[in-house]
Amino acid sequence: MDRFLIEGGKKLHGTVHVSGSKNAALPILVATLLTDEPCVIHRVPNLRDVRTTLKILEYLGKKITYQNNTVTIEPNGKLKNDLPYELVKQMRASFWVAGPLLARFKQAEIPLPGGCAIGVRPVDIHLKGFEKLGATCETKAGNVLIKADKLNAAKIVLRFPSVGATQNLLMCACLIAGETILENVAKEPEIDDVIAFLNDMGADIRVGDKGQLIITGVKTLHGAEHTVVADRIETGSYALAAAATRGDVTVSGCVPEHNAILWEDLQEAGFTLDIGPDSVHVHAYDGEIKPLRVRTAPYPGFATDLQAPWMTLMTLCNGTAEVDEDIFENRFMHAPELVRMGAQISTEKSLARVTGVKELSAAHVQASDLRGGFALVMAGLCAKGQTEVERVYHIDRGYEKLEEKLTALGANIRRYNPDKDEF
């Protein structure tokens, strides 16, 4: 399997351009199941999760053309309404096809997604929502069969503002006659991008005064062309890498307002930022990094996907920082690996205490999840000596051309496969 070899100690400098958002691209691609007309999606990042999603669409009966970050999706015969476990187990977001398939066929059979390294991600919020719309959900032999004689508009209050459940129910409700209201929904920018695409397809979705989503069902949706919004997690990740290496980097092609909390925290920690309409410039800073306490929360709070990279930054602070992880119960798996690199971190349940050190040291570490993997790459960029990061397939799920972009910023990083390459 591929690894990253990183010679640390170099300050990042230059400009890095952000790719399209993975977390917006995936549901937008899935939403094309709601129509039999062609759809063209631009700025789709070439990522492992994206390629898995395209395989799923092909299996279900779509013709896929993917070139230069543009995906063209066309009909290719009759659609299926079931998925094999071999595809579902590769990516939990594959369960999002349930909503469109239920809306179109009144039935979908999907294997339940398996466990996730960073914690439980239950689909019960999805299923209870489908039941409110008139479906029955039966689990048997690892599959969930969702079916309905007739789907009805309803008012649904999510017990937690789940991004996946919000998207799944939103897509399903587009083709249900009447007015469906979703309350306590996720408010991430990726949701807004999905709504924009669905409305371009002919859906009738609007946001109410209290943030609820109001969907007036239509009979059919048509094809559409759309450009995916910039990836706010990639934006924040490169900004944090610039800060941790004491570099001078401009992150371009982004939507700065999507990371407002992060910019405030970076500035409070001592860094100077220039925030433009579509870029953020992190200035070189050689002063002491101030320790902060951050708490992850649904958008617009501090993103759980930036918790691990933020922790890497705090390993170099002057004092003791604290990180509260309030979204996932097992998202500190990168902490022991950072300790191997000289960090001082103690964890207890959802709280991590990070006492800063003067420098990190290179080590052989392994990624356990996507964002934790990037945190280890960040640490390798800062550490003296050569860091080897194993299991980079996790990182490939969410960062397009990572080593190319970091190399362009002056990093010494290369991909290496011990089974194929010479050391």
Active site residues: 116
Q: Report the Cα 10 to chain-centroid distance in Å.
A: 28
Q: Omega of the bond prior to 298 within 30 degrees of 0, cis?
A: no
Give the whole-angstrom CA distance, residue 205 versus residue 202: 9
315 closest CA partner among 266, 374, 356, 360: 356
Q: In sequence order, which ranges of 44-185 are alpha helices (DSSP H)?
A: 48-60, 85-88, 98-105, 124-132, 163-173
Residue labelled with tokens 């896929």: 64
Give the whole-angstrom CA distance, residue 378 versus residue 355: 17
Helix (H, G, I), strand (E, B) or coil at 91: coil
Give the whole-angstrom CA distance, residue 402 versus residue 174: 36
176 closest CA partner among 138, 212, 203, 145: 203
Q: Give the C-alpha distances (Å, rounded to integers) separating 28 from 96, 161, 166, 274.
A: 10, 19, 13, 32
Q: Where are the beta strands (DSSP E) in 173-247?
A: 179-183, 204-207, 213-216, 225-227
Cβ partners under 8 Å of residue 154, min gap 6: 132, 133, 134, 180, 181
Give the whole-angstrom CA distance, residue 71 versus residue 40: 6
Contact 320, 291 (CB under 8 A): yes
| 214 bridge partner residues | 181, 206
Give the whole-angstrom CA distance, residue 88 versus residue 352: 32
Q: In degrees rounded to 5, what are phi and psi of residue 198?
A: -60, -40
